[in-house]
């Protein structure tokens, strides 16, 4: 039996438990998730708290012990709406009426039947569900937390209470997941980011426009340098575009028609024109291409811009660096011919693999071939012919490059299909990071062309691609992936020198200058703290190496080295340590 069916059934059981304890509660939506389930409720004037979850969970287990049976009850759409109105389930009524407007003629309901009439429960649901509750392990689920969500994700509608649950096939799987979550809390990027002075959140600036401190900028620069190093010998050129543009640009690109509610608008009081902060770089890059006279000999043309874009994300979706309103993309756009797509995808894939191998995240990755929703084509730009051509080209490239891909409907960008690379961090959590997107539409809308062999204009294909995605989101992931102790090449704090007493300060200073001259990020702890406390502070601050110096080290021109990651302690000649460290940084050793 699919775990998703068990999770969905548990959301139904949770609703039954909540209604038995709080009969006046109104029910909303109830999906399963990758790790469990949730249900949105309107508790009205009732104040629900985390401590109430124990009572609800206990009630759920009592229901499961009764081994109730899920019985499917079909109703005509009008009969179903009348039934829901009699139950005063206003949110279900709204959903049922929406289904009726889409020409649905029937509705599904599931009834939980037990020997006790008072335990009977019925809910509108398409299913599927388990047959009977003995198929569930009552020790393999737990209620996790309370959150809040607007009804239908619309901030103008009522805020509902969302109860989350975790559910797995076995108790062992649940316990392992809970342990992973506890470890994730220790690695929380919001806590470590503040503690390590990586970024600052200021309400005076705006909570979702993070300010990045010097330590962050070191990491960002190292990432940018590495990304450029992976591309610079493959025909890429750097470009730079402004942070805003006239609305006309986004009308042409169709962002204004499809994306307007997520864009920031700016009115020019002098120019009397309407502008938008750019939500993406691609329309700007189209203009750079259009201003050149390219021939088939120039193709592919490849641009790179690590630029900040701006999106008016919904407040409920914003948290730490997980989703912010200023987004720095490692944005790459290339313009090529159709027959070049396969080779370009191969090159990009090779770069992606090398980048994520360096990050220690390449194991068990897979690729989502994200295609459009065939049932609702209105939200996509371009004709059926263009989409078929784009999806075929990308799938052929995925096959030719032996990518472990799955075809996923509904996940395409509005302008074209894409290959989304899914990587796991050290805790086994899966993230969509790199992407390759195939676009036949924007070149059409901007009337882009180059001269082919017959001296005729030919339309290029645009490939949008990102390796890390947004640097803010990627930073969140790697803070937690490395628990703040970054690989030495990436670390803003590589070495700290600890003189045991102030009479060794001169030697520590001399050593520090020698390291800095080689661009090694080093500092000295001149405080009067004890040696043990200095070492503890260094480890808490996530230095990679602690160098301890006193009389013997001065006499022998050595350092006592503590590797914070491995806890290994050695005594080494200064030059040997520097050479080894330089090689570690140069080769980006983990």
The residues that are catalytic are 282, 311, 329, 331, 333, 418, 464
Question: What is the DSSP code (8-state) at residue 29?
Answer: -
Cβ–Cβ under 8 Å, residues 229 and 236: no
Q: What does the buried/exposed string (b/e) look like for 228-239 if buried means 16 or more CB atoms within 10 Å of the residue's CB?
A: eebbeeeebeeb
What is the rounded distance in angstroms from the CA atom of residue 504 to the CA atom of residue 560? 13
Please name the residues in contact with 456: beta carbons below 8 A apart, sequence gap of 6 or more. none
Cβ–Cβ under 8 Å, residues 39 and 14: yes
Cβ–Cβ under 8 Å, residues 512 and 540: no
Please name the residues in contact with 364: beta carbons below 8 A apart, sequence gap of 6 or more. 424
Beta bridge partners of 275: 246, 266
3-state secondary structure of 454: coil
3-state secondary structure of 345: helix
What is the rounded distance in angstroms from the CA atom of residue 365 to the CA atom of residue 423? 5
Beta-carbon count within 10 A of 5 CB: 16
What is the rounded distance in angstroms from the CA atom of residue 446 to the CA atom of residue 235? 23
- The three state secondary structure string of 170-198 is CHHHHHHHHHHHHHHHHCCHHHHHHHCCC
Beta-carbon count within 10 A of 371 CB: 21
């Amino acid at each position: 039996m699919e775990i998703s069916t068990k999770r969905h059934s548990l959301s139904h059981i949770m609703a039954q438990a909540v209604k038995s304890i709080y009969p006046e509660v109104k029910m909303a939506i109830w999906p399963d998730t990758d790790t469990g389930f949730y249900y949105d409720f309107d508790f009205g004037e009732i104040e629900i708290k985390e401590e109430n979850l124990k009572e609800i969970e206990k009630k759920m287990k009592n229901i499961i012990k009764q081994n109730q049976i899920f019985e499917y009850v079909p109703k005509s759409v009008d009969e179903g709406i009348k039934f829901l109105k009699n139950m005063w389930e206003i949110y279900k009524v709204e959903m049922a009426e929406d289904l009726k407007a889409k020409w649905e003629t029937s509705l599904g309901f599931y009834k939980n039947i037990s020997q006790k009439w008072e335990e009977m429960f019925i809910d509108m649901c398409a299913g599927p569900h388990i047959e009977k509750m003995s198929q569930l392990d009552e020790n393999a689920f737990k209620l996790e937390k309370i959150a809040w969500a607007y009804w239908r994700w619309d901030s103008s509608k009522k805020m509902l209470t969302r109860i989350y649950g975790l559910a797995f096939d076995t108790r062992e799987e649940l316990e392992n997941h809970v342990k992973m979550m506890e470890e994730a809390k220790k690695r929380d990027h919001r806590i470590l980011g503040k503690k390590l002075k990586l970024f600052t959140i200021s309400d005076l600036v705006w909570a979702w426009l993070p300010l990045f401190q010097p330590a962050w900028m070191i990491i960002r620069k190292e990432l940018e340098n590495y990304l450029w190093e992976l591309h610079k010998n493959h025909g890429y050129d750097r470009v730079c575009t402004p942070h805003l543009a006239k609305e006309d640009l986004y009308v042409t690109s169709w962002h204004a028609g499809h994306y307007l509610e997520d864009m920031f608008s700016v009115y020019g009081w002098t120019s009397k024109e309407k502008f938008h902060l750019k939500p993406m770089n691609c329309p700007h890059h189209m203009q750079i291409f259009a201003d050149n006279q390219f021939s088939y000999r120039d193709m592919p043309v490849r641009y790179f811009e690590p630029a900040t874009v701006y999106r008016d994300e919904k407040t409920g979706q914003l948290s730490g660096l997980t989703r912010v309103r200023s987004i720095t993309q490692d944005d790459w756009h290339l313009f090529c011919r159709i027959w070049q797509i396969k080779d370009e995808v191969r090159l990009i894939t090779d770069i992606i693999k090398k980048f994520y191998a360096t990050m220690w995240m390449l194991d068990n990755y897979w690729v989502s071939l994200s295609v459009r929703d065939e049932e609702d084509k209105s939200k996509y730009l371009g004709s059926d012919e263009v989409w078929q051509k784009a999806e075929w080209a990308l799938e052929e490239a995925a096959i030719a490059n032996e990518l472990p891909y799955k075809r996923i409907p509904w996940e395409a960008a509005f302008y074209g299909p894409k290959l989304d690379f899914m990587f796991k961090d050290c805790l086994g959590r899966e993230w969509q990071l790199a992407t390759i997107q195939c676009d036949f539409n924007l070149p059409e809308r901007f009337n882009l062309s180059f001269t082919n062999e017959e001296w005729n204009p030919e339309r290029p294909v645009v490939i949008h691609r990102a390796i890390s995605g947004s640097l803010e989101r990627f930073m969140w992931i790697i803070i937690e992936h490395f628990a703040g102790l970054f690989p030495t090449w990436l670390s803003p704090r590589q070495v700290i020198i600890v003189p045991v007493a102030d009479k060794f300060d001169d030697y520590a200073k001399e050593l520090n200058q020698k390291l800095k001259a080689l661009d090694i990020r080093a500092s000295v702890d001149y405080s009067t703290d004890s040696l043990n406390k200095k070492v503890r502070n260094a480890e808490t601050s996530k230095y990679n190496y602690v160098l301890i110096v006193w009389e013997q080290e001065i006499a022998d021109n050595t350092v006592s080295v503590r590797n914070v990651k491995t806890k290994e302690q050695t005594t080494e000649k200064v030059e040997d340590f520097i050479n080894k460290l330089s090689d570690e940084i140069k080769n980006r050793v983990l």
